[in-house]
Structure 1
Amino acid sequence: MRRKLVWALAGLLLGAPAWAAAPSEGPAPIRVGFICPFTGGSADFGTAARLGAELAVSEVNQAGGYLGRPLELVARDDKSNPDEGRKIAEELVQGKKADFTIGFCNSGVALKSLEVFQNAHHLLMIPVATGTALTAQFPPASSFIFRVSPRDALQAAFLVDEVQRRSLNKVAVFADKTGYGEGGLKDVERFLAQKSLKPVYVARFDLGTASLTAQMREAKAAGAEAIIAYTVGPEMGMLAQSRAEAGVNADLLGPWTLALRSAEDRGGKALEGAAMVQTIVPDTTLERRTSFIARLHRLRGKEPLGSLMAAAQSYDAVYLMLGALFQTQGHAEGEALKNALEHLNRPYSGVVTTYDQPFSPSDHDAISANMLWLATWRRGELHFFYPEDARKATVIQRKPGAAH
């Protein structure tokens, strides 16, 4: 009866969702592995993701943990390095230092580690990394890899549709040489081809490149009307500066990483009007989001938030895993958690959306196309690009096909 009451209240309590509210005994902690970069070029969104997870864990523990068992966040810094990420994955999984893992911000880092989780039947929930291949490397029916971030195939299709919405057919693509950039480039090219288009110019570059002004001039000479960029925050800012220095007027669009605070820190005014894909945009229309942002602000203090999206998705990931634990009655084995996630019997009213049957045996991606918004930089802050989206966002977007 108590468990039913916990689930019934889950969507109503914002500060501490009721999945966590059930006193019992058993002091052994539930160890939540957490892998993201806290240092280096991707530290902005890695640290934001950790803050979101820390907030959720803190709330759960303040409400009594899982039936009296506290959650313990076993956080590790992968430094945006694939080899370091693999080493940490082996430490958490093979060293049995985590019951399940929430992890990875960089797609290239995640790709090198997926088999560690899959071979051990250890549940991995990806909160931030968006590479399309991450949930496609293993067939969902047998996979232990789940995700609550929007895969790049969704974002690339969204961006190509946006370019056509603006009646721009000459597209240049700037992609870094990481696994993330490679995957994004392939996705963009694929969706352009579906509209009988191909990039008029493609530039590849290493992370840490100081300037791409010459390449921007070449894109301008090729007639580019729009630039789609696939890279991380600092390089997004560098691209915006290079576009301004080259006198390029082509619209600048990108996936979610164009909204990272490090992009604005480096790009400044050159980013004004640039547009990107987001699952959450700061607004005051939904109480649960307003409350989350306020609690996150109290937790981080004066530390700037690198990505609201990374924080929100990581926060929701913790609660989704907690819901799965209630459904398995505390069993954290991979098979039990996998089955629970694929057949969640109650919706979770999260920050990004309401997760109503977010996964199935054939689909391990929680985010669907209707949950994406176009955001833009205006005077150093993120806003909805289209006013009508701000109005639409007041209605929770549920995954198509979910029962409600």
Structure 2
Amino acid sequence: MKKKILVLVALLGFFVAVGIRDHCAAEEKASIKIGAFFALSGPASSIGTPTKLVAQMAVDKINKEGGIDGHPLELVFGDTESDPTKALIVAKRLVEQEKVIALIGPTRTDTGMAVKPYIEQSGIPTVMTVGGDPVIAGGKFGPYRWTFKAPQRTSVAVKKIYGYLQKRGIKKIALIHATDGFGRDGLRWLRELAPEYGLQIVAVESFGVNDPDMTAQLVKIKNTDAEALICWTIGPAGAKVARNVRQLDITIPLIQCHGLPDPKYVELAGDAANGSIMPSTRLMVADQLPDTDPQKPVVKEFMRLYEEEYNFDEKYPINTHSGYAWDAIMLLTEAIKRVGPDKMKDVRQFREAIRDALENIDGYVGISGIFHLTPEDHNGLGTDSLVMVQVVDGGWKLIEP
């Protein structure tokens, strides 16, 4: 009799456990799938790979805090291979096969422009992590109703640099730029905005991002009366320019763009990096920020996660690009929260609502700045989102807020 009772108790316990398990499974909420496509291979992989890691770090934080109304975020990754054509193929796979509700990425301006027509035609809310303006410029660059971006506009970075030069009484400048999409976008804004700041461009030279040397172009610039030299590129090419400037004993200030505040720049340029000036996000000088800066606690927490909890800095030291994917994820998350994930059943309407919410985010304190998005401005960052920094003894010094 006792054995029968024990068996019945055991069976009852088993069925109760199964029932609880099945009930919990039924209560689990559907994940919200976001496509994330970056340059995980190819020339831009040094930027794209850590961007992927940061995107996952942001999603981990959100999910640990309960997701969005209990719905976990799920990232589906794709590798653009630093190639515009492949970027478009990846974007289509993420949307049409993986059924993501939104996208973040890609890594470079050229790949962003390659996928933009598809994004706009398909109605996919996308927060890009590219540096150039064309993706949200409108006009001849096409509509940007569904396209947003987390990094500062090129025009904003140019205004920051020009404001810095204007305060120092500089009147004549020389330009050297890469011939890729990012470099051309920089040249466009450098030319367009120069008169507004009383600046005369006395020389313009260009180079391919993979060129081994820029000496010939810089010799021409040295023979002008330029009072400052502005270089517009990202990646190793900027370090080559710095080394050539040092070799040629060019003594006017070298101003790099907002894409180069990166320990890799210092590593590749060596001593030639010292003295370089550039606009940067607050990530590079977090400890030098005043405690009154509203971004400081956000930036410091990001750095704690990146360096202490995830140890990403062991392979990918923090640079000015590091926060772009974080901001992209957080902006999308804020938009989805406003819409409510219960609207997911109608994917088209859900995407439309996310898009509408994105362009009305006002005051989000991120890594790249405090975002004030509008229907006309799908970036929402001004010159106050950047600080001017200088490489001093291999480190980064805040020289102008």
Are 1:72 and 2:74 counterparts?
A: yes
- In the alignment, the residues of structure 1 paired with residue 34 and residue 48 of structure 2 have an alpha-carbon distance, to the nearest angstrom, of 16
Q: Deviation digits for residues 157-189 of structure 1, max 9, x if unmatched?
A: 221222222222221111111011111011101
C-alpha contact 2:374 2:380 (8 A) present in aligned 1: no
Are 1:225 and 2:220 counterparts?
A: no
Residue 105 (structure 1) shift = 2.2
Q: Choose between structure 1 and 2: higher helix proportion.
A: 2
Change in Cα spacing, 1:140 to 1:180, as seen in structure 2 (3 Å) is closer
Q: 1:283 aligns with which of 283, 286, 290?
A: 286
Corresponding residue number in structure 2 for 1:8: none
Q: Secondary structure at the match of 2:104?
A: strand
- In the alignment, the residues of structure 2 paired with residue 25 and residue 142 of structure 1 have an alpha-carbon distance, to the nearest angstrom, of 38
Q: Higher relative contact order by CA 8 Å / sep ≥ 6: 1 or 2? A: 1
Are 1:380 and 2:397 counterparts?
A: no
Corresponding residue number in structure 1 for 2:131: 130
Change in Cα spacing, 1:222 to 1:348, as seen in structure 2 (3 Å) is closer
Corresponding residue number in structure 1 for 2:11: none
Residue 44 (structure 1) shift = 2.6
Residue 68 (structure 1) shift = 2.5
Q: Deviation digits for residues 103-139 of structure 1, max 9, x if unmatched?
A: 1221111111101111001001023x12121112379
Are 1:351 and 2:367 counterparts?
A: yes
Are 1:293 and 2:293 counterparts?
A: no
Are 1:260 and 2:262 counterparts?
A: yes
Considering only aligned residues, what root-mean-square deviation do their CA atoms show, in Å?
2.3
Range that drifts further, 258-267 or 176-185: 258-267
Change in Cα spacing, 1:117 to 1:102, as seen in structure 2 (3 Å) is same
C-alpha contact 2:281 2:367 (8 A) present in aligned 1: no
Are 1:338 and 2:355 counterparts?
A: yes
- In the alignment, the residues of structure 2 paired with residue 366 and residue 316 of structure 1 have an alpha-carbon distance, to the nearest angstrom, of 12
Instruction: Give the number of the structure whose alpha-carbon radius of gyration is greater.
Output: 2
Corresponding residue number in structure 2 for 1:370: 384
Change in Cα spacing, 1:347 to 1:175, as seen in structure 2 (3 Å) is closer
Structure 2: 5+ residue runs without aligned partners?
Answer: 1-25, 345-349
Q: Give the partner amino acid of 2:82.
A: S
Q: Deviation digits for residues 352-390 of structure 1, max 9, x if unmatched?
A: 4444xx22222211211222211121222222123xx3x
Corresponding residue number in structure 2 for 1:270: 272
Q: % of aligned pairs identical? A: 23
Residue 309 (structure 1) shift = 2.8
- In the alignment, the residues of structure 2 paired with residue 142 and residue 317 of structure 1 have an alpha-carbon distance, to the nearest angstrom, of 16
- In the alignment, the residues of structure 2 paired with residue 294 and residue 121 of structure 1 have an alpha-carbon distance, to the nearest angstrom, of 36
Change in Cα spacing, 1:321 to 1:204, as seen in structure 2 (3 Å) is same
Q: 1:53 aligns with which of 31, 52, 55?
A: 55
TM-score by length of structure 1 reads 0.83
Corresponding residue number in structure 2 for 1:394: none
C-alpha contact 2:229 2:252 (8 A) present in aligned 1: yes
Residue 301 (structure 1) shift = 4.1
- In the alignment, the residues of structure 2 paired with residue 78 and residue 103 of structure 1 have an alpha-carbon distance, to the nearest angstrom, of 10
Change in Cα spacing, 1:34 to 1:251, as seen in structure 2 (3 Å) is same
